[in-house]
A and B are shown apart, each in its own frame.
Chain A
Amino acid sequence: KQEVTQIPAALSVPEGENLVLNCSFTDSAIYNLQWFRQDPGKGLTSLLLIQSSQREQTSGRLNASLDKSSGRSTLYIAASQPGDSATYLCAAINQAGTALIFGKGTTLSVSS
Chain B
Amino acid sequence: ETGVTQSPTHLIKTRGQQVTLRCSSQSGHNTVSWYQQALGQGPQFIFQYYREEENGRGNFPPRFSGLQFPNYSSELNVNALELDDSALYLCASSSPGAGGDTQYFGPGTRLTVL
Contacts and interface: CB of A to CB of B under 8 A. Distances in A.
Interface of A: 4, 31-32, 34, 36, 41-46, 49, 51, 89, 91, 93, 96-105
A46 B105 contact: yes
Interface of B: 4, 6, 33, 35, 40-45, 48, 55-56, 58, 88, 90, 92, 96, 101-108, 110
A109 B81 CA distance: 35
Contacts of B103: 34, 46, 100
B102 A46 contact: yes
Contacts of A99: 33, 45, 48, 56, 58
A104 B41 contact: yes
B92 to A, nearest CB: 8
A97 B102 contact: no
26 contacts: A4-B42, A31-B101, A34-B103, A41-B88, A41-B110, A43-B90, A43-B105, A43-B106, A44-B92, A46-B102, A46-B104, A46-B105, A49-B102, A89-B42, A89-B43, A91-B42, A98-B33, A98-B45, A99-B48, A100-B35, A100-B92, A102-B35, A102-B43, A103-B42, A104-B41, A105-B42
